[in-house]
Amino acid sequence: MNGEIQPINGHETTIKVEDRLDEGQLDRLATGVTVDTADSATTTAPPVKPEKTSAIELRRGVIQILPVENDKQPRSLVILTNLKTLFQKQLPVMPREYIARLVFDSNQKCLAICKRGYKVVGGICYRPFEHRGFAEIVFFATASVDQEKGYGGLLMDHFKAHIKRTYPNMMHFLTYADNYAVGYFRKQGFSKEITLDRSIWAGYIKDYEGGTIMQCTMLPKVDYLSTKELVAKQREAILTKIRQMSKSHVVYEGLKFEVRREGTVEGGGEVGQNEEKVVPIDPKDVPGLRESGWSPSMIVRETRPSAKDLEKSTMKRLLTELQAHGSSWAFLAPVNVVDAPDYYDVIKNPVDFGTMEIKVETNQYPNLEAFLADAQLVFDNCRKYNAEGSIFWKNANKVEKVLKDLVSRLRN
């Protein structure tokens, strides 16, 4: 890869969204439950997911994705230097000298997201073992201020496409992921199950203490720059099959109610104003209900949940929102002493979202206030142990604000 560095940008296209069934209906259909779409709320098209900022910036040329290696060219050295700085900032556990040595090693290859010139906001450093059929991902990071823009997923998609194009016979990736990165790599198609024979990779990649080895195997027929379009086609095929076997897509005319005027009679004479009453409808006359297979015997008398059940449901909902937030990765599980040897000397009452989830499920919180106190302790502990301005400190502030907004909406 000598001479001028060329971008390997792909393109995003608008995906047509199915205009009949929403995600909730698909979930119910998948479990064998017939869905009645007569309700107007279920016949509207599901909301179109907004295009991620990373895809917009790529299309507009704000960012570009560049392959780079140490070929001694000035442009390459500038990008590699910026990559080294990014990795050193985002991977503080790794020795700075070790990062610098590998990034500038001529055996290593890199893929960088460059913004408005040579400002590096994300990158992968990897080593290809083409004769062994796999590559090791050594470093992977995106700038903390840009982590919610979707740079990570975009970079991984382009990395897979780049490897398929550059090394057609290399279909496997291996990497050691720390505890905070396991979830991300799993979303990108990596698994803790290593199917690649150990004799192929053992001795070729560095074994990191405290890391979890993960593997990703690419599919030959998949274009990783067009996965959204591929999923959209698969979704449409599933919906077409559902329509052949179900009437869930049929929309019936709305109900028409008969209104009757009634007056009150006292002492043989009519007094008072006439009162309008809606004539009840027999459930069997509801359009589409009988066709769905419903019968009166299926009526379930609902019991009102207790205040305790409602409070537990609220805790689960809040915790799910916190765990799903992009900045909560450091709070999902207990702090590993390998990463922070003195953590439990400083923090005497440790808590994390994983521990809170167990406490919710086992009814250890007497009320919502106790749950919120534990959540606040997560953020306070983080700010107590980590330096002000660090990525951990900033993420604690972000997720804390999310919780406060959720609780505020809950109580208003």
Q: How far apart are CA 262 and CA 265, in angstroms?
A: 10
Helix axes 353-361, 307-324, angle to 10 degrees: 160
Please report, to the nearest 10 degrees, the dihedral formed by the alpha carbons of residues 403, 404, 406, 410 taken in order. 130
Helix (H) or strand (E) holding 89: helix 74-90
CB 68 within 8 A of CB 79: yes
CB 138 within 8 A of CB 213: no
- Scored b (16 or more CB within 10 A) or e, 179-195 reads bebbebbeebbbeeeee
Q: How far apart are CA 382 and CA 377, in angstroms?
A: 8
- Active site amino acids: 136
**Tokens standing for 226?**
């067009």
* CA pseudo-torsion sign 237, 238, 240, 245: positive
Q: How far apart are CA 229 and CA 221, in angstroms?
A: 14
Provide the residue type at 2 as one letter: N
CB 125 within 8 A of CB 87: yes
Q: How far apart are CA 32 and CA 35, in angstroms?
A: 9
Contacts of 231 (CB under 8 A, 6+ apart): none
Helix (H) or strand (E) holding 222: none
- List the one residue out of 237, 244, 279 whose CA is nearest residue 260: 279
Q: How far apart are CA 110 and CA 159, in angstroms?
A: 9
